[in-house]
Structure 1
Amino acid sequence: MTTGEAIREAALRLFAARGYEATTMADIGAAVGIRGPSLYKHVASKQDLLVELMTRTMDTLIARHREAVAGSADPVERLRRAVDAHVRFHARHRLEAFVGASELRSLTEPHRTTVLARRAEYERSFRTLIERGPFDVGSVRLASYALLDLGMGLATWYREEGELSENEVVWQQVEFALRLVGAHPA
């Protein structure tokens, strides 16, 4: 792991545990064994660390969504794959999900607008799947938000050592998603 990667990982852990505002560059430096001022050789600012963590998370989610739906023309299967990718990401990257949800308030402009645009793009990708499928929902937008919550909420409670395996949880969340949109999974 490079020094830059170690700094980003320490920032992620500290932002998740303490919050962005309560974390100092000196805290991040101490976590990787570098004095606070030396961090500036590797990163421009604490805000830049937060922006990078959040944009990387959104870029990864968008890319995984595209990969998941690319292999099928069937709208139900595309939604199944998209929800699977979404839930798996949140099961495996709980800290990123937590920081992404809780620290949006800490972004300054223009970074806040940039991250919000990526989030909107990601939500639209689910909305588009619902609109193009044989689904029965009152509100496509609310349905897409509910699908997103299946992953985002999971990030707060899922643990690898829990009662159900990742595959069992993902399977059940996908089934919930399909029922939510009226797809009546097999």
Structure 2
Amino acid sequence: MATGTTERERAKASRQAALLREAARLFAEHGFNGVSLEDLGTAVGVSGPAIYRHFANKQAVLGAVLTDVSRNLRDGGLAVVEEDGSADDVLERLVDFHVDFALGGADVIRVQDRDLQSLSEEDRHTVRRLQREYVELWVQVLERLHPDLPEEVLRVRAHAAFGLINSTPHSVRALHPAPAADDVRATLTAMALASLRA
């Protein structure tokens, strides 16, 4: 009996993860208001009402997409910062971590940019808190690298680096021929590090 329960739980978790991936893709393509529960269900092979087994409503799906990614960024950044190394080593690892996120998560970046205002007040508060905590991890590292600069300047640098890194996955989609992923990664990394070290 326990085995059956475990398998059901695994299947439910797998279906929920697939639903969040497809929701990010559909919200990125059509906007939150342009996607119905039926669209979400069809994308993962279930009926629209079956979504209610996982989420209270479409807004809760959006909340899960954006809170999950914000929590993963914060937790991943914390793991990077807690590793040994010089400030410059840690900064390089942080940039690598964020570039990986941006190149793999272009859909969720578009959703965040366009549909943050569609979150419930509680989810919007959670996302903003997690994002502030992530920024502060960068500020801590930049303080070690630039001890003479005020925190607010370092915070601006961190946000500017995010803007640089996060915008590129959108813009390269329109380029023909498309640049190689390794070239994009190398360019983003070099430019972000140059701006943060300056």
| Residue of structure 2 in register with 1:62 after alignment | 74
CA shift for structure 1 position 141: 2.0
Residue 177 of structure 1 and its aligned partner are, at CA, apart by 2.3
| Length-normalised TM-score, structure 2 | 0.80
Deviation at 1:43, TM superposition (A): 2.0
Aligned to 1:81: 93
**Equivalent residue, structure 1, for 2:4:** none
CA distance in 1 between counterparts of 2:140 and 2:83 reads 16
Residue among 163, 167, 184 paired with 1:149: 163
Secondary structure of 1:85's counterpart equals helix
Q: 2:180 aligns with which of 160, 164, 178?
A: 164
Structure 1 residues 177 and 9: CA distance shift in structure 2, 3 A: closer
CA distance in 2, matches of 1:102, 1:179: 29
Give the equivalent residue in structure 1 for 2:142.
130
Give the whole-Å Cα distance in 1 for the aligned partners of 2:179 and 2:148: 32
Q: Share of identical aligned residues, percent?
A: 28
Greater Cα offset, 19-28 or 67-76: 67-76
Distance 1:169 1:12 in 2: 22
Counterpart of 1:38? 50
The separation in 1 between residues aligned to 2:122 and 2:37, in whole angstroms, is 21
Structure 1 residues 102-124: Cα deviation after superposition (integer angstroms, max 9, x where no partner): 21111121111111111111111
Contact 2:39 2:48 in 1 (8 A): yes
Secondary structure of the 2:145 match is coil
Give the alignment partner of residue 191 of structure 2, picking from 154, 176, 180. Answer: 176
Indicate if the aligned counterparts of 1:6 and 1:32 stay in contact, CA closer than 8 A: yes
Which amino acid counterpart does residue 70 of structure 1 have in structure 2? Answer: E
Tell me how far 1:142 sits from its aligned partner: 1.5
Paired AA for residue 110 in structure 2: F
Q: 1:171 to 1:66 in 2, by over 3 A?
A: farther
State the Cα RMSD in Å: 2.3
| CA drift at 1:5 | 2.7
Secondary structure in 2 matching 1:73: coil
State the number of aligned residues: 181
Which one has a larger percent helix, Structure 1 or Structure 2? 2
Cα distance change on mapping 1:134 and 1:72 into 2, 3 Å: farther
- Structure 1's 18 and 10: CA in aligned 2 closer, same or farther, altered over 3 A? same
1:89 maps to amino acid: F
Q: In structure 2, how many angstroms separate the alpha carbons of the residues matched to 1:182 and 1:76?
A: 8
Gaps of 5+ in 2: 1-10
Q: 1:143: Cα distance to partner?
A: 0.7
The verdict on how the C-alpha distance between 1:89 and 1:158 changes in structure 2, with shifts beyond 3 A counting, is farther
Name the TM-score, length of structure 1 as normaliser: 0.85
Alpha-carbon distance in 2 for matches of 1:135, 1:89: 28
Q: Check if 1:3 corresponds to 2:15.
A: yes
Contact preservation (8 Å) 1:75, 1:129: yes
Q: Which residue of 1 aligns with 2:154?
A: 140
Mapped partners of 1:135, 1:79: distance in 2: 14
